């Protein structure tokens, strides 16, 4: 649509105004120059349910509540100290995954759906940060319960099925069944977070009183609740946000990265050569990442071509505003077409090609943190992704360790894995969770 209608266009979708911006200059205007004006969020009928009308952080309007939530979440989740405290846990998780794949004779022959085990790894990475907890295997019943209910939350909110009732309120009665299902899933999910995870930490905190040492992210969040800064519902919505924002996006990106490396064996070999030269037979650790420029380029190229949130999370202006000379009515939904900014042939050389070298050659110096308005996989500015500080090392360690330890190949009889895309309200996921052959590179 950006090709047809240009860098900015306006659509009236029922009662909602939608503005899509698709140039670096306009992205700068929305996210930076007028970052406050456009720093709010729209929700829809379904997200209203899942976030209790914005009692969370990701989907709340710009204002005091958002500022408070972002501040409270920063120390326990979004600093380099968190990375340093947790990186050994992430390194252990990927090591366990590698060992399991090595022990599984199927992995080297017919291949495995590697995504399933990566999902366990990602849950463990985040649940260690949040609750100092992990799940020992893919068969763990609590892990499976969580996975199923998170999947249902995602399916219901990423579907396009409810748009008609969202855009045209008189049609909402037809959505009654759908919305009831959302309510039921939301209640069950928050109850699970409370009963199985949060209550345990809260009890420990209450029992130990002033002697209690803040150990994991949840302790910091509960401490903020104890001080009266937020209420218990906000605590549960923070868990809700992390379960969506952190787990899925990072997992999708790792999955895309693996698929690209399987389909580009020469790039995979080049990456393995870098890992072998720099690390020898030692396991990749987080501090090694700065010495692995090609690995970093592979991560960036994955995020460029396979952007997990291609239109960012929708922004909104609380008041009437102006953009590129046009009037934008208050409460318009503003989409920044980040995927197009990173894939527009007028701005990038051969953007359709998976070519990590670009980030070492003509695009050297372009980082994923928004230092260039053509490349915004995590957004930039006030509402940008604070999780970037965790996501980049986790993706780097995961892809690096896999390629260091295995030749990643398509399953027997195929010469590539399927790269078909599945789009959701916000997301760009891989459609098929591919079977990948993992042939050990070292004995």
Report the DSSP pairing between strands 428-430 and 421-423: antiparallel
Among 391, 397, 409, 437, binds ligand HEM (CB under 6 A): 391
The H or E element spanning position 89 is: helix 80-103
Residue position matching structure tokens 């104890």: 226
Contact 240, 190 (CB under 8 A): yes
Q: Tell me how far apart the alpha carbons of residues 390 and 236 are, in angstroms, rounded to a whole number.
A: 21
Q: Among 72, 235, 245, 334, which residue sits at the site for ligand HEM (rule: CB under 6 A)?
A: 245
Q: Is 385 assigned a ligand-binding role in the annotation?
A: yes
Q: Whose Cβ is closer to ligand HEM: residue 284's or residue 385's?
A: 385
308 counts as binding ligand HEM under rule CB under 6 A: yes
DSSP lists the bridge partners of residue 13 as 16
Q: In the bound complex, what is the minimum distance in angstroms from residue 342's beta carbon to ligand HEM?
A: 12
Query: Of 8-16, 259-267, 316-324, 385-393, which part binds ligand HEM (CB under 6 A)?
Result: 385-393
Helix/strand/coil for 274: helix
Measured between alpha carbons, how far is 399 from 118 in angstroms, rounded to an integer? 11
Question: Cα separation of 428 and 430, whole Å?
Answer: 7
Q: Is 62 helix (H, G, I), strand (E, B) or coil?
A: coil
Q: For ligand HEM, which is the closer residue by CB, 328 or 390?
A: 390
Range in contact with ligand HEM (rule: CB under 6 A) among 147-155, 217-225, 307-315, 397-405: 307-315
* Span from 212-220, 240-248, 272-280, 289-297 in contact with ligand HEM (CB under 6 A): 240-248
Q: Which of 97, 182, 185, 242 binds ligand HEM (CB under 6 A)?
A: 242
Residue 436, Cβ neighbours under 10 Å: how many? 24
250 phi, psi to nearest 5 deg? -70, -40
249 binds ligand HEM (CB under 6 A): yes
Element (DSSP H or E) covering residue 21 = strand 16-21
Binding-site size for ligand HEM (CB under 6 A) equals 26
- The binder of ligand HEM chosen from 385, 402, 430, 438 (CB under 6 A): 385
- The single residue among 42, 55, 119, 241 that binds ligand HEM, judged by CB under 6 A, is 241
* Binding of ligand HEM by 250 (CB under 6 A): yes
- What residue ranges in 22-96 does DSSP mark as E strands? 40-41
Q: Which residues bind ligand HEM (CB under 6 A)?
A: 57-58, 70, 77, 241-242, 245-246, 249-250, 253, 308-309, 312-313, 315, 377-379, 383-387, 390-391
Which residue ranges make up the annotated binding site?
385
Residue set of the binding site for heme:
385
């Amino acid at each position: 649509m950006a090709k047809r209608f240009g860098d900015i266009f306006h659509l009236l979708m029922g009662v909602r105004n939608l503005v899509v911006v698709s140039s670096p200059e306009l992205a700068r205007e929305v996210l930076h120059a007028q970052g406050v004006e456009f720093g709010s969020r729209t929700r829809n009928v379904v997200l209203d349910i899942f976030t209790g009308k914005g009692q969370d952080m990701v989907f709340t309007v710009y204002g005091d509540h958002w500022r408070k939530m972002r501040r409270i979440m920063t120390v326990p989740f979004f600093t380099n100290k968190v990375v340093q405290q947790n990186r050994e846990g992430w390194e252990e998780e990927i090591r366990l995954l590698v060992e399991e794949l090595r022990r599984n004779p199927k992995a080297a022959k017919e291949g495995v759906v590697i995504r399933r085990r990566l999902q366990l790894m990602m849950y463990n990475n985040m649940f260690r940060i949040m609750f100092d907890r992990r799940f020992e295997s893919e068969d763990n019943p609590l892990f499976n319960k969580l996975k199923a209910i998170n999947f249902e939350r995602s399916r219901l909110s990423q579907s396009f099925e409810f748009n008609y009732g969202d855009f045209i309120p008189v049609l909402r009665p037809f959505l009654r069944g759908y919305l009831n299902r959302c309510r039921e899933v939301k209640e069950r999910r928050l109850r699970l977070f409370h009963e199985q995870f949060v209550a345990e930490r809260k009890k420990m905190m209450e029992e130990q009183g002033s002697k209690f040492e803040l150990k994991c992210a949840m302790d910091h969040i509960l401490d903020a609740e104890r001080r009266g800064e937020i209420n218990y519902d906000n605590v549960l919505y923070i868990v809700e946000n992390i379960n969506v924002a952190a787990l899925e996006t990072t997992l999708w990106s790792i999955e895309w990265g693996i698929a690209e490396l399987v389909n580009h064996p020469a790039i995979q070999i080049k990456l393995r050569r870098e890992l072998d030269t720099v690390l020898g037979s030692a396991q990749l650790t987080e501090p090694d990442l700065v010495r692995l420029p090609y690995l970093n380029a592979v991560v960036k190229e994955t995020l460029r071509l396979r952007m997990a949130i291609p239109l960012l999370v929708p922004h909104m202006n609380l008041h009437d505003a102006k953009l590129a000379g046009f009037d934008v009515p208050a409460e318009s939904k503003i989409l920044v077409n980040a995927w197009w900014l990173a894939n527009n042939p007028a701005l990038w050389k051969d953007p359709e090609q998976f070519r990590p070298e670009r980030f070492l050659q003509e695009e050297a110096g372009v980082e994923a943190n928004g230092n260039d308005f053509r490349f915004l996989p995590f957004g930039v500015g006030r509402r940008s992704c604070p999780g970037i500080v965790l996501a980049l090392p986790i993706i780097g360690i995961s892809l690096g360790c896999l390629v260091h330890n295995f030749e990643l190949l398509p399953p027997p009889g195929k010469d590539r894995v399927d790269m078909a895309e599945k789009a959701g309200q916000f997301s760009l996921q891989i459609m098929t969770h591919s079977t990948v052959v993992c042939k050990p590179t070292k004995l």
